[in-house]
């Protein structure tokens, strides 16, 4: 009987030791918490990530392609297209992190009216946890 109690105590102790590691979380972006806004030549992407466990911070990178679009719906010059990136570290509180990053396009020659700047291939990546999300369409 004593051997059984020792074995049972050891098994319960091992389980209690392993449970906190298993409940660390599963990092994911909260899809309905994303907000994308464009103002002139700038695009701001804000969002929330959850399931971060006890991490201190996450490193978020936002990438996009910016291009000049003429009133006919065409992209007139290859020089008026560029890849952009913005990144930052954001604190984790209660297993969640809120973030906001802005990308600004600068073109040579300028993308002046009647042309306008559009952003596409917008991707948000958490390099800390190796996850990303890409938005469809243009902004």
Residue-averaged pLDDT of the chain: 84
Residue 21 · residue 77 · CB < 8 Å: no
Closest CA to 100 of 83, 114, 113, 87: 87
At 74, give phi and psi (nearest 5°): -115, 155
Residue 87 · residue 63 · CB < 8 Å: no
Residue 106 · residue 43 · CB < 8 Å: no
Residue 62 · residue 45 · CB < 8 Å: yes
Q: Which residue has the higher pLDDT, 5 or 98?
A: 98
Percent of the chain as helix, strand, coil, to the nearest 5: 20, 45, 35
pTM: 0.78
Domain ranges of the chain: 25-134
pLDDT in tens, 67-116: 998 888 887 766 778 999 999 999 999 999 999 999 999 987 788 788 88
Kindly state the DSSP code that residue 51 receives in the 8-state scheme. -
The answer to whether domain 25-134 has CATH 2.40.128 is: no
CA distance 76 to 48: 36
Q: What percent of the chain has pLDDT over 70?
A: 81
CA distance 61 to 56: 17
- Structure confidence at residue 81 (pLDDT): 87
């Amino acid at each position: 009987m004593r051997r059984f109690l020792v074995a049972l105590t050891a098994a319960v102790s091992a389980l209690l030791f392993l449970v906190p590691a298993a409940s660390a979380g599963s990092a994911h972006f909260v899809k309905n918490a994303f907000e994308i806004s464009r103002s002139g030549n700038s695009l701001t992407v804000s969002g929330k990530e959850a399931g971060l466990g006890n991490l201190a911070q996450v490193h978020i990178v936002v990438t996009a392609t910016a291009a000049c679009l003429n009133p006919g719906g065409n992209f007139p010059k290859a020089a008026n297209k560029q890849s952009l990136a913005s990144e930052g570290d954001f604190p984790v509180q209660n297993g969640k992190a809120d973030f906001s990053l802005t990308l600004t396009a600068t073109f040579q020659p300028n993308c002046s009216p009647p042309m306008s700047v559009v952003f596409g291939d917008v991707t948000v990546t958490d390099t800390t946890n190796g996850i990303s999300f890409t938005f469809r369409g243009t902004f």
